[in-house]
Amino acid sequence: MTDERITQFEKRHERLKQLSDAELKALFWELCNQVVEPIAELARTHTSPSIERSVLLRMGIDSQTAFGVVDRIHQAGLLGKGAGHVVLKLSQIKNIDLRQAAAAILEDKEVLNGLFDEVKA
């Protein structure tokens, strides 16, 4: 390491040594949120039906069902939430497995209403 880097490290180290455990924990989570926020925003704004179908396939939903579920989720304006997230949330709310939740979305598009309080009709 260069002398400048060592000096910078020592300054940061001294500042951090003065923080309590609670302050360190708060700083840690603040920094984590700063790192993750751009990644989460990118995921929200740069998904596509094919990506979401791929997620559902990896969750054990068959291909034909995945196509229909993603279409319904897209029509409801929830694709930015992630199709897997939508299916998971519905399965948790209804206390059913993931495949049953996917089937419920296909059978009744109204099942998505109010799921995130921002569904288009």
Domain membership of residue 100 (yes or no) is yes
Domain membership of residue 117 (yes or no) is no
Q: Which CATH number does the domain housing residue 108 bear? A: 1.10.8.1000
For residue 41, the enclosing domain spans 3-45
Whole-number Å distance between alpha carbons of 43 and 59 = 18
Domain membership of residue 118 (yes or no) is no
- How far does CA 67 lie from the centroid of its chain? 20
Q: What is the pLDDT of residue 121?
A: 46
Q: What is the pLDDT of residue 59?
A: 95
Q: Do 53 and 32 share a structural domain?
A: no
Q: Is residue 98 within 8 Å of 62, Cβ to Cβ?
A: no
Domain membership of residue 8 (yes or no) is yes
Q: Do 92 and 76 share a structural domain?
A: yes
Q: What is the pLDDT of residue 42?
A: 83
| Local structure of residue 60 (DSSP, 8 states) | T
Mean pLDDT per 10-residue section of the chain, whose length is 121 residues: 88 92 94 90 84 95 96 91 94 96 94 75 46
